Structure 1
Amino acid sequence: MKGAAITYNDGLGGRMDQKMKICVVGLGSIGFNLFTHLGRKFPGEVIGVDVNESRVSELRRQGFEVTADYRNLTGIDVWLMAPSTGSRGQNLFLALEQMLICPGSLISIESTLPPGTMWRVREFLEEKGFELGTDIFLIHVPHRIMFGVDQTVCDTPRVMGAFTGACLERGRRFYAPLVPQLVEVPDVRVAELSKVVENVKRYVDIAFAQDIYCYCVDQGIDFDELRLAVNSKNNVELLGTDWGIGGECLPKDMGFLRSVCSSVLLEGAEEADNQYRHRIARQVGSGRGVLVRGLSYKAGVKDIKHSRGADLVRALEAAGNTVWVEDPLFTPGELAEAGFRPNDQAEPGKEKQERLTGRVVLERQRALNPKDE
């Protein structure tokens, strides 16, 4: 692996050119996005590592330079850490334990962290004999991306925190040319908390929207008209609704924040989402045919993992319903392979005839207004 030739602006009016070897740790949706983005900027100069050997094999078949063996990663100058952290950051520490860390290297934690994790990372590295700001440079730059809107994790301003000024300076040299704005904070806890708060704020906003939607349904009020009215004020946004609050990040980060912050508001937001999802399933009852339209975890994003739509299908099936699904992002074959019953109108036989009459239809953004086919 060659060293990437990168020109940095050091933020102090000078420039420096330095060849670096860059490794992205963790090749899930976030890490792979970062890996491919840097790979396009510096072809052949970035390597990725993931402990999931099937994932690594798949990416190798596609021509990417990746490995599952940390022993293959020597002389790395920049480690970009993007593993799914686990409930207490355990996956991050498993990766740190295996890394062959060279003196002078930059370690950037991009994963969203439970508050307090960066102090644990510092203690871990110091126990290994490293002095921050001298031997190695540790920063926290939590990733930001809105899938379906942003193309890469480098398309939006990023927050960077560190324990020392020298670490901040080294981080600035790497990230400043890559992102539109770098927001530096001298207290690493601010960077750590900022990403968690961003996601929990969105969680609370969605839970509020779901509650208002429920009220509108009960009162016969058009929720979409209400949103247009409310959102005409430029500093207010009433969000839309879906099958519930899904995806990996928002529920996980709510758990991170609630583990350190006792809050009736946060507890209530979680309970409101649970009640909303139960109401969607409860309105159908049992012994019915149901068509669920929209299965991806988020409209416009082709991913079923952590989908509340998928959870809804399983809950309806468990209640004794027969459930068909459709989603414009997936072919009937892909849905069937994922374990669902696709709404394939070309399917012949008695089952098709039964499906075409008497079914209840659930739409993801009008989940409490079912229609009968």
Structure 2
Amino acid sequence: MKICVVGLGNIGFNLFAFLCQRFAGDVIGVDVNERRVDELRRQGYRVTGDYRDLTEIDVWLMAPSTGNQGENLFAALGQMVLCPGSLISVESTLPPGTMRRVREFLAEKGLTVGTDIYLIHVPHRVMFGVDKTVCDTPRVIGAFTEACLEKGRQFYAPLVPGLVEVSDIRVAELSKVVENVKRYIDVVFAEEIYGYCADQGVDYNELRRAVNSKNNVELLETDWGIGGECLPKDMRFLRSVCHSTLLEGAEQADRQYRSRIVRQVGSGKKVLVRGVSYKTGVKDLKHSRGVDLVSALEAAGNTVWVEDPLFTAAELRSAGFRVKDDQENENEGSVADGVVLERQRALEMELPLELDNGL
């Protein structure tokens, strides 16, 4: 069995590395990013940027970044040389209705789903910082035909702790989007309650401890706002088909929360931002609200330093940040009006701060 993972970003590479261990020598990866391909080759992985290298593939696992309307998925499908009888599993999160478009795309190539080729949707699930791989949690699987579903069972059943089969492929599409939008709304609710607690002088962490003592309730921690790629993107996907004042209000509330953090600091301050990765414990600056916060504070006329235990000072400097350790060399002197911002306590500024005395 020859397996190809299409798209080697965070999710795709996680899947690819896992399969390389399970099917040594039978897995190849493809990505359109030449720098990414070169990087992975130097690490010893079997990868390519040329679809012409991919012949007689039995299983295609599609994990490209979706794009606004699935355009990255269709760009990949257009380059793949598909063999009769092969399985295509779309793992990317999709705008509702995309799998129908994929079936139509294949039909235009003369391929009938369920006989010539087998098509399934198994949206990926992974909580970085918690799960080790995308195959550590039960997965939803949907298909247009029973024959496709059976092909999917044969491949995924040995790999994941459980398959949740659904009779309508639209359910599989919606399941991942709804999971992430539910998380989005839960975070917004936490931001709103935290803002109220900050106004009233109530200890939010103590409130969380009290509320979360009930086993079917979880009041979440807050951060710099809702970042990452998935939650904002999937909110857009759902809002495109589900016109809801609740969803619109959630997006607006998160924007207001992020704006409040910047407004409370004002301008002309010396600010230390603690934590700029896109989420706690995950070393990645892409789609980070911490990065956005630094930019917004600087645009408001503040001087901003950062620190993050996941990154070295050199890595932060190369990303364009002022690093806290550099402050002594900038002749800034004692910073009487400086503030410290902590990612889980963003509305509770520590004031004053003297950066040159160390922290």
Q: Shorter chain as normaliser: what TM range?
A: over 0.9
* 339-348 or 356-365, larger mean C-alpha shift: 339-348
How far apart, in 1, do the equivalents of 2:162 and 2:269 lie?
53
Q: Give per-residue Cα distances to partners, 1:38-66, cap 9 Å, x unaligned.
A: 00112222000000111111111111110
* TM-aligned CA deviation for residue 345 of structure 1: 5.7
How far apart, in 2, do the equivalents of 1:281 and 1:338 lie?
21
2:114 matched to which residue of 1?
133
1:371 matched to which residue of 2?
350
2:337 matched to which residue of 1?
358
1:112 matched to which residue of 2?
93
1:14 matched to which residue of 2?
none
How far apart, in 1, do the equivalents of 2:319 and 2:311 lie?
10
* TM-aligned CA deviation for residue 357 of structure 1: 4.6
Q: SS where residue 80 of structure 1 aligns?
A: strand
* TM-aligned CA deviation for residue 349 of structure 1: 5.1
1:194 matched to which residue of 2?
175
How far apart, in 2, do the equivalents of 1:234 and 1:190 lie?
28
How far apart, in 2, do the equivalents of 1:349 and 1:194 lie?
51
Q: Give per-residue Cα distances to partners, 1:274-309, cap 9 Å, x unaligned.
A: 000000001001111100001000000000100001
How far apart, in 1, do the equivalents of 2:136 and 2:330 lie?
50
Where structure 2 has 5 or more consecutive residues not aligned to the other structure, the ranges are: 354-359
* Contact residue 165 and residue 186 of structure 1 kept, 8 A: no
2:295 matched to which residue of 1?
314
How far apart, in 2, do the equivalents of 1:104 and 1:45 lie?
18
* TM-aligned CA deviation for residue 157 of structure 1: 0.2
TM-score, normalising length from structure 1?
0.93
Q: SS where residue 96 of structure 1 aligns?
A: helix
* Contact residue 295 and residue 310 of structure 1 kept, 8 A: yes
1:95 aligned partner, one-letter code:
A
Which residue of the other structure, out of 122, 130, 139, is the alignment partner of 1:149? 130
How far apart, in 2, do the equivalents of 1:219 and 1:61 lie?
55
Q: Give per-residue Cα distances to partners, 1:151-203, cap 9 Å, x unaligned.
A: 00000000000000000000000000000001111210000000000000000
Structure 1 residues 122 and 35, CA, compared in 2 at 3 Å: closer, same or farther? same
2:339 aligned partner, one-letter code:
V
How far apart, in 2, do the equivalents of 1:280 and 1:37 lie?
40
| 1:160 pairs with 2:141 | yes
How far apart, in 2, do the equivalents of 1:357 and 1:165 lie?
69
2:356 matched to which residue of 1?
none
How far apart, in 2, do the equivalents of 1:164 and 1:130 lie?
14
Which residue of the other structure, out of 269, 280, 301, is the alignment partner of 2:261? 280
| 1:290 pairs with 2:271 | yes
Where structure 1 has 5 or more consecutive residues not aligned to the other structure, the ranges are: 1-19
**When the two structures are aligned, how many residues end up with a matched partner?**
352
Q: SS where residue 292 of structure 1 aligns?
A: strand
How far apart, in 1, do the equivalents of 2:230 and 2:55 lie?
32
* TM-aligned CA deviation for residue 35 of structure 1: 0.3
How far apart, in 1, do the equivalents of 2:191 and 2:305 lie?
24
RMSD: 1.0
1:17 matched to which residue of 2?
none
1:23 matched to which residue of 2?
4
* TM-aligned CA deviation for residue 358 of structure 1: 3.4
| 1:75 pairs with 2:56 | yes
2:329 aligned partner, one-letter code:
P
1:231 matched to which residue of 2?
212
* 356-365 or 245-254, larger mean C-alpha shift: 356-365
2:246 aligned partner, one-letter code:
L
How far apart, in 1, do the equivalents of 2:172 and 2:275 lie?
35
